[in-house]
Structure 1
Amino acid sequence: MSSWRASVRWSRQSAARSFQAIRTSGLHNQTTEDERL
């Protein structure tokens, strides 16, 4: 039953990483961020 908790924790971490990456890349490239969304 702890496997789903681990998956949720991993998904949250990956989402936070991707969000930070999009933020940092957005500072350099605003067009790239718009294309991703």
Structure 2
Amino acid sequence: MRLAVTGREGQVAASLVEAARGRDDVEVVAVGRPALD
């Protein structure tokens, strides 16, 4: 599963990245506002 999260520095993104760490079936892509503009 691939998750795209806006707000790269936010608490939700950080929690999702931490939860996905060590799992081969989950990829979290955290994107900041400058990349979205």
Fold match by TM threshold 0.5: no
**Which TM-score band applies after superposition, normalised by the shorter structure?**
0.3 to 0.5
Higher helix share: 1
| Larger-Rg structure | 1
Structure with the larger RCO, 1 or 2 (CA within 8 Å, 6+ apart): 2
Q: What TM-score do the two structures reach when normalised by structure 2? A: 0.35
